[in-house]
Amino acid sequence: MIKHPKQHEPSNAAVLPLAVGSTLLANGRLRETQAEVSRARHEVRLFFTALMFLTRIPCPSWIDYSEEYLNKASRYFPLMGWIVGGCTAFVFWLSSFVMPSSIAILLSMVTSILLTGALHEDGFADFCDGFGGGWTKEQVLTIMKDSSLGTYGTTGICLLLALKYLCLMAISPSLLPSILIAGHSMSRLVATSFISSHEYVWENENSKPRPLPKQMSRSELVIAGFFGIMPFFLLEYYFLLLLIPVFIAKRLLGKFFVKRIGGYTGDCLGAAQQVSEVIFYLLSVMQPWKYF
């Protein structure tokens, strides 16, 4: 009878390293997955923080105010322009089927104001009151802090809304939805860029600053720039040229802010958003590339 050689089973010494290696690999993958989930949750919270700060759209109950999160959420401010601009474009498009363009445009403007709670319009009006009625830095900041609306603010906001309406009326209805989305996104990029390029100021050292992003890294500015410029690809490529005069206007506004009060406030950012949006609409009506 032939005896087969006895097969040797792997010893514990050989199996242990394999088991340990498999466990470490599984633990590593688990940690990577947990880290990715944590990063995703962090970004979601930043998105909703931006949504809560810039709009009246309801947010989940677990989103609360945090200065740290608000600073980082500024990267998503131009993305809020996608949402607000998209809603205004949709209202215009839907309304234009059953009513004249003049009324459809007015309804789209009302939609924007309702979605944001007139946040930027209020900032522009306070800016007009403060910079129009104040002579010193302290006077300008005190007037802007006052919640009442003065002559400069009333006049300024009425003229601004009238100019915005007339510009939108002069733009082709087929082009208007894309113009609205691009205008809302780009103008929020302009306002957000002040957080990176200028210093925040308040009335005095003892006064409590309002909730507002006051810091922004270059990487966050790049992300904001991506969201602010992407809607331009809904338009013809030459609309990108309009960014040049818009940011020239931003630079001039920045110099004016620094000269009068040494930096920016929340009202200054609201004014910058409104002014840059209207400038973009004006340039879209002019279409300066036609003259070259």
Give the residue among 252, 267, 250, 282 at the shortest CA–CA distance from 120.
Answer: 267
Can you tell me the distance from the alpha carbon of 27 to that of 172, in angstroms, rounded to the nearest whole number?
58
Return the axis-axis angle of helices 176-197 and 101-116, rounded to nearest 10°: 30
**Same domain, residue pair 287 and 213:** yes
Number of domains in the chain: 2
pTM greater than 0.75 (yes/no): yes
DSSP 1: -
Residue 3 lies in a domain: no
User: Are 148 and 253 a contacting pair, CB within 8 Å?
Assistant: no
Residue 5 lies in a domain: no
**Same domain, residue pair 42 and 81:** no
- Stronger pLDDT, 217 or 9, i.e. the higher one: 217
**Same domain, residue pair 114 and 26:** no
Residue 274 lies in a domain: yes
Neighbours of 209 (CB within 10 A): 13
What's the pLDDT at 173?
Answer: 95
**Same domain, residue pair 63 and 86:** no
What's the pLDDT at 211?
Answer: 73
State mean pLDDT over 53-79. 88
What's the pLDDT at 63?
Answer: 80
State mean pLDDT over 126-145. 93
| Boundary of a domain, candidates 39, 67, 95 | 67
In order of 79, 82, 113, 229, 246, the CA distances from 49 in angstroms are 12, 16, 19, 21, 27
Residue 1 lies in a domain: no
Query: By residue range, what is the domain housing residue 57?
Result: 16-67
Residue 7 lies in a domain: no
**Same domain, residue pair 62 and 122:** no
| Helical spans, DSSP H, in the chain | 12-54, 67-73, 77-95, 101-116, 119-133, 137-145, 151-170, 176-197, 218-229, 243-261, 266-286
User: Are 269 and 126 a contacting pair, CB within 8 Å?
Assistant: no
- Is 13 a residue whose pLDDT tops 60? no
Dump pLDDT digits (tens) for 103-123: 999 999 999 999 999 999 999
Residue 10 lies in a domain: no
- Cross-strand bridge partners of residue 264: 200
- Is 229 a residue whose pLDDT tops 80? yes
